[in-house]
Structure 1
């Protein structure tokens, strides 16, 4: 297998890295951290102009038809700049669900608007009692005479405060047809009886909790034909974990580069820290962890279209391994910077916070080690 990037992929990497380096300096990140919106609408418009919002969307709906590898290239560059725009929520999660489950009319009405930047989306699925189990959904959608009645609550909705529409998962209950299957419902963010409570995320960006108090939705709010959406949810979340793993690699690479540079200029007893053999060993260990994380993130991206168990094992294996690598890199970076590593003057702490957030998003390393093992047993028994 040839793992070298194509010419188009190299151009994407170079343009993304250049844009992030020019647009995301320390001042911009501090400004976004103090901004209630949490991201820049002007930058979001530039994302659309550069074609990044259209990247993984099918060509027939105004996209570029890119795959998970191209998304990973972009996300790694985003990690270097601690990008806070709602790219994962809108493009990687919600738009992918519409592409997988939506009717032709629903796709035509929304995906071109995602690609041109005029529509932002969010995916509300996590619940307090689920503990990262995607099949556990307590929110209920009851079939009504004219449409649907949805009630329940969702937590940790990525960038839900910025969304024009929110995709909400719920168990479908209706008089005729099988009940208990999970459906996806499109609802405008300003829907009556829908309450959104937003808060800042660790490491930048925003999230929110949602309360649905008997929300009334029209018949066509149901995404697609109403068949069980759990397989599509699992596939899209696995794809999102591969993308977030690539973002974590970009963060880790930045911490490694920053720490290496710091140990060259920081002197102790008249010598640079990098002259100390123990420090060199630590830096070498950090470099190895970054390379391991990059390799397994690429493997997860290459497996997103594999059969479900193989895809899920690749995603969980990457999430678990990258989570451990991320914590090691973050801790070593802070320690080698000494007391400066946790001050506002340096951004090491901000990058470390984003890595901590990555480790818990969609389940931490312990959860995904268990999932990886369970999937392996399922594969053997099958």
Structure 2
């Protein structure tokens, strides 16, 4: 099987990497990440104009790509620059709308691709612990519309989002796959409260509280109680995106570490000439290539049957969690004490790699999920 990128993907990767290198330097990134908005609306609009957001969507939805490898190419570049703009929310919310939405709802995809709408995906809850089917937020019919009650936690860039895709239970028990529904919720919906806070690795997250939040009849995304498939597919796209982002961050951490080994002297010689450090670096390079293989395998499986797709995604997320933590630790240790300083980009890459492990399921969760899917 040929895993080389198409000419279009190579051009996309080149232009995006060049844009991030020129317009999204480390100091600029930190200013954006620590700002009260949590991302740059100007950069977000430029991503839209460059076709970066559109590359995450299929031609049937008005986009320019949408395949697993398109997602991987974009997010690997984002990982290299520690980009905090809300593309993860776009790819997850967009997938749910694409899979389950009617024509009117799918029309919102054009607004997302143009940068006019910031979309966020709200599924995680304070007590969910990564389990997709554990949904306590409830939705009940009220006249011609719906009423939502519950809490969603750690919604990426939720303060700035104008549209949310929200999971809620319309029937069944708390852990049942059946009975989960998805809803399109505008940020100004009556009864919705958004409370933001800074994320530990830059940008901002939000907690959404639904207190008798009122929605129209057109808010339901897909069939009532039949949202689990779209939910799983949206989360799967997010997992692939995070794995590719981690791969880009690993590459940047690796490059910084190699440069340090080649320029730092001790006892009058470059420390990269020390055999012990050479062995550690060689092991690290092999691990990063294994991570790359896992991402390629996951991207290639996005159009396969459910079990094959989900096992490949869990295998990749498990590998990324383990290897990302290893890269963070080894890169900092080979830099010595300077590796932990705030002024050095490496510390921020290490922090992001550790946090990616905890998004959408950590390595322990995905190892167990991989085993369980093998029994299905």
Mapped partners of 2:286, 2:201: distance in 1:
24
TM-score (structure 1 length as normaliser): 0.95
In 2, Cα distance between equivalents of 1:315 and 1:49: 30
TM-score by length of 2: 0.96
Give distance in 1, aligned partners of 2:29 and 2:56: 26
Summarize deviations over 1:104-156 as a string: whole Å, max 9, x none. 11112x01111111011111111122211100101111111231111011111
Q: Is the 8 Å Cα contact of residues 327 and 356 (structure 1) preserved in structure 2?
A: yes
What is the Cα deviation at residue 207 of structure 1? Answer: 1.2
Per-residue CA deviation, residues 21-61 of structure 1 (Å, 9 max, x unaligned), is: 11121211221132011111111111111111111323344
User: 1:237 offset after TM fit, Å?
Assistant: 0.9
Deviation of 1:173 after TM superposition, in Å, equals 4.7
Contact 2:171–2:225, Cα closer than 8 Å, also in 1 = no
Q: Quick check: 186-195 or 365-374, which moved more?
A: 186-195
- Structure 2 partner of 1:254: 252
**Corresponding residue number in structure 2 for 1:94:** 93
Q: 1:312 to 1:172 in 2, by over 3 A?
A: same
Instruction: Return the alpha-carbon distance in structure 2 between the equivalents of residues 200 and 12 of structure 1.
Output: 31
What is residue 340 of structure 1 aligned with on the other side?
338
1:187-266 equivalences under 5 Å are 187-266=185-264
Q: Whole-Å Cα distance in 1 between the matches of residues 34 and 112 of structure 2? A: 26
Does 2:43 align with 1:46? no
Taking the aligned partners of 2:346 and 2:196, their CA distance within structure 1 comes to 26
More deviation in 224-233 or 212-221? Answer: 224-233
1:161-200 paired onto structure 2 within 5 Å: 161-173=159-171, 181-200=179-198
- Could you say which residue in structure 2 is the equivalent of 1:126? 124
Q: Secondary structure at the match of 2:121?
A: strand
- Report what 2:302 is aligned to: 304
Task: Name the SS for the 1:36 alignment partner.
Answer: coil
SS at match of 1:35: coil
Separation in 2 of the partners of 1:230 and 1:339?
47
Query: What is the CA–CA distance in structure 2 between the aligned matches of 1:130 and 1:265, rounded to whole Å?
Result: 47
8 Å Cα contact 1:239/1:301 also seen in 2: no
C-alpha distance in 2, partners of 1:202/1:237? 22
Give 2:5's aligned residue: 5
**Secondary structure at the counterpart of residue 55 of structure 1:** helix
Q: Which runs of 5+ in 2 are unaligned?
A: none
Off by >6 Å, runs of 4+ in structure 1? none
Counterparts of 1:295 and 1:205 in 2: how far apart (Å)? 29
SS of corresponding position for 1:209: strand
Between the aligned partners of 1:139 and 1:26, the Cα distance in structure 2 is 39
TM-aligned CA deviation for residue 72 of structure 1: 0.5
Distance 1:316 1:60, change over 3 A: closer
> Which range is displaced more, 280-289 or 220-229?
220-229
Name the CA distance, whole Å, in 2 between partners of 1:164 and 1:248: 27
Distance 1:59 1:113 in 2: 15
User: In 2, distance between residues paired with 1:287 and 1:302?
Assistant: 23
1:77/1:370 CA distance change after superposition, 3 Å: same
d(CA) in 2 for partners of 1:250 and 1:89?
19
The reply to whether residue 33 of structure 1 matches residue 29 of structure 2 is no
Q: Does 1:281 align with 2:279?
A: yes
SS of aligned partner of 2:120? strand
3-state SS in 1 of match to 2:37: coil
Q: What is the match of residue 375 of structure 1?
A: 373
Deviations 1:57-98 (A, max 9, x none): 2334431133110110111011010000000112x1001110
- Runs of 5+ in structure 1 lacking a partner? none
Instruction: Find the counterpart in structure 2 of residue 135 from structure 1.
Output: 133
1:291, distance to aligned residue in structure 2 (A): 0.7
Match of 1:156 among 128, 133, 154: 154
Matches within 5 A, 1:105-124: 105-108=104-107, 110-124=108-122
Measured in 1, the distance between the counterparts of 2:26 and 2:152 equals 33
Give the CA deviation at 1:339. Answer: 0.8
